[in-house]
Structure 1
């Protein structure tokens, strides 16, 4: 452990004793700042406090999922009115964003009418009764074309929903349409285009600046939620595909702990070498909605055999005054821009007001090692895993990015080398967990910069799916740790900057508690100019 500690850059910002914390509290410094609590190893009563919450606009299309659901249950507004408002918003903005690529408005309107009829009888369909949503086009959706961005599925209409989609609809959610994704959620469509795109539906754009990227692969989801065209969406995260778009589009999102949510019905589903890397996750404008949505989708479906039936922890019972926080504003791998660095430092200072201990610490050498292993595993079989995906989808024509990989396969390593990489990956994950045992939560960038230009030109490194800017998210896919994103700042030209909050396995409550506190300090999501 001593050698491990020497391999990281470490700086203590401030270590708070319990006495010092209570002194601050008595002085009134924390009047609005502390979350409810689970004391570390203590049987003391929970320390419950409220802190400031982001104000929700009066317009229904910008309200939280939680508020919309309550308003419908209390008959303050009808499900039909809400659905029609969101449809109108999509029609107002989507021609510029190209975020929603397939709509099912008529069905949603009919379902909303039925939902209102049930409310009139005193029946509530579920926690999401009447709430409008969109779904990433990589999920299978009953009766609605589901392509995964690949031409082999351009006319594919599934007979059933993906598991997470079915659970949301069974809870009363109203699906309005599908949102854009790169081919197979992994590969962009056009070489040199820096945004979610594919050869079927084209390029999605950022609602804060139409010349900027949405990130990916849940880029259509991030854009339409930020713009008020959906109350929430569900993305998938293989290397940052929920967290990156949440950051660049200024919303909240979470990648849960690996194998908490089923992948059944996703175009890149369960099984295979990279099984544990991928997780579905909700994307919404407010952190509290992530807590509402994730447990609805979680738990075994008896198809995805890896899913673990873990209980969902209550983030409102986390005592942030007892948390040990590690933060790093840059990792020494990506060229991180000054505004992002400053935003992370600001978030660390906010945590320093309330947490037990805040330490600047980055396991850089472990991150470099993990990134190298991941890259070699991805390309080590000559992209045969990706070729099999195209064959299963029936795709004979691909976007240029995918074609470039399949036609220039590169060297295939031996079985012995491949199995050694798998052993190295597991050893690294163990070392990462040992490092993390000193802390409860990590605060770091989500992306190396705010949204970049769509017309950015070809990046040679991207052919290996190894963009250095993704070094802030990919390690936590490999480790399987939960990570939430919340907007905490913006660039000089008004582009959102989201901070990533990573917790130990199965402790989404800690990630959401910290994200919620940071949201209360920063104000979180802000309405885009579109």
Structure 2
């Protein structure tokens, strides 16, 4: 029964809790039991609060029994990404600089989740300050891929994705600048959505007008992603770019007839980056599913000239903006690649930022025009399958050298700078059993239609039902 509870979807759990078929205490106890047995093998949850979680569960059951109003996620347990501030709970950002950091207030996404009735279990692992798509840091070590524990879990929401894949929690929160909601979900056979900027408003932060980093949901199903979006999306006057549409738009049915839908399939965005042949072949076989669903599929790519320059310039500028004081005070405690990224921001001039913003605008219009011809763009989430956990990043993709920790992430971060929402859905496995995700991209602010397309693909393929065969004992570090 405990195992059954841990593999229920969030949608199923919400129904069972409201109908009193399960109590919040039963759900939390089941998740805590599984975390105790499985988490040592994968290192997904790095701060665990069992007593606190059980207290919240008891209160959730009491309020439901008393007939008090219940939020959309009443009684659902979640551990939160360790870069999302949680009031009264240690939030380290995976860095020795913030080993003992305990925020006074919740970040906006956490505030909304708790208001909806989420029960906090603890925190999930991240790379240091969420820099990079491989989850390891000097405080907690690396998070392991449950399908192959000697492989990367991706990142930066790596702990969150692995916790979902292992049945440690039904929903997860994450963030994404260069692929952090997409890459780890691809590596772990779960679902992640990077919303358009402003769909899930952010607060607090020093760069409120920035469109680079967004928060969003991870789950085991597209329906659960939609459920979580109904809670975390919607306007907030603390974010100047927040979208006015209510999150309730995500409660509509996901079922949709895709007949005539125009799908652009691009294995490498017109040769913009190398892709491992096994990823390319795995996805090419699955794109045919859209034809079976009645779609018109063509190989086509938007011309994303300048995407690399835009992303690297604006990322470096934002890293200096947010982490410059940390570099000045604690340089010796930062990993070299992170310190170098901050230094790159300090070398920028006004002309660099002006050129980046001009190209940024051009990329938006190129994508806007592309979606006049097509309804959705399909491409790889990641250019490689999960790689050796001992590497900081893949040093080569299909024989092409990768010179830094960003190079191999172009398939995600080229989409970031277009402003389009992007969904990562399970799309198959390599011959040696490693997950591969398909990235679906929709017009600006077209998240709900994107979820409908992803749901249809998910229901037709059912790859997300394949669970990892977890090792029975912890893997030695």
Same topology, TM > 0.5: yes
Superposed, which structure 2 residues align to 1:5-404 within 5 Å? 59-187=4-132, 195-265=134-204, 269=205, 271=207, 275-311=210-246, 312=249, 314=252, 316=254, 318-331=256-269, 332-363=271-302, 366-379=303-316, 384-385=320-321, 387-388=323-324, 390=326, 395-402=330-337, 404=339
Which residue matches 1:494?
433
Which residue matches 2:461?
522
Q: Within 1, Cα distance between the matches of 2:365 and 2:415?
A: 13
Q: Within 1, Cα distance between the matches of 2:394 and 2:385?
A: 17
Q: Within 2, Cα distance between the matches of 1:383 and 1:224?
A: 28
Instruction: Classify 1:150/1:411 alpha carbon distance in 2 versus 1 (closer, same or farther; 3 Å).
Output: closer
Deviations 1:377-424 (A, max 9, x none): 445x696336426269x6454332346516975993432243122212
Q: Within 2, Cα distance between the matches of 1:183 and 1:389?
A: 16
Calculate the aligned-residue CA RMSD, in Å.
2.5
Deviations 1:290-340 (A, max 9, x none): 110012011233222221212435352644224211111233233322332
Gap runs ≥5 in structure 2: 396-400, 471-477
Q: Within 2, Cα distance between the matches of 1:162 and 1:129?
A: 19
- Asked if the contact 1:441/1:510 (under 8 Å) is kept, the reply is no
* SS, match of residue 385 in structure 2: coil
Higher relative contact order (CA 8 A, sep 6+): 1
Q: Within 1, Cα distance between the matches of 2:198 and 2:342?
A: 33
- Asked if the contact 2:363/2:417 (under 8 Å) is kept, the reply is no
Instruction: Classify 1:293/1:395 alpha carbon distance in 2 versus 1 (closer, same or farther; 3 Å).
Output: farther
TM-score by length of 1: 0.81
Q: Within 1, Cα distance between the matches of 2:315 and 2:62?
A: 51
How much has 1:180 moved relative to structure 2? Answer: 0.8
Instruction: Classify 1:383/1:292 alpha carbon distance in 2 versus 1 (closer, same or farther; 3 Å).
Output: closer
Q: Within 1, Cα distance between the matches of 2:431 and 2:325?
A: 42
- Asked if the contact 1:405/1:463 (under 8 Å) is kept, the reply is no
Q: Within 1, Cα distance between the matches of 2:318 and 2:202?
A: 25
Is 1:448 the counterpart of 2:383? The answer is: yes
Deviations 1:466-495 (A, max 9, x none): 31x322111221111111111120011111
TM-score by length of 2: 0.89
Instruction: Classify 1:378/1:158 alpha carbon distance in 2 versus 1 (closer, same or farther; 3 Å).
Output: closer
How much has 1:449 moved relative to structure 2? Answer: 2.2
Instruction: Classify 1:339/1:172 alpha carbon distance in 2 versus 1 (closer, same or farther; 3 Å).
Output: same
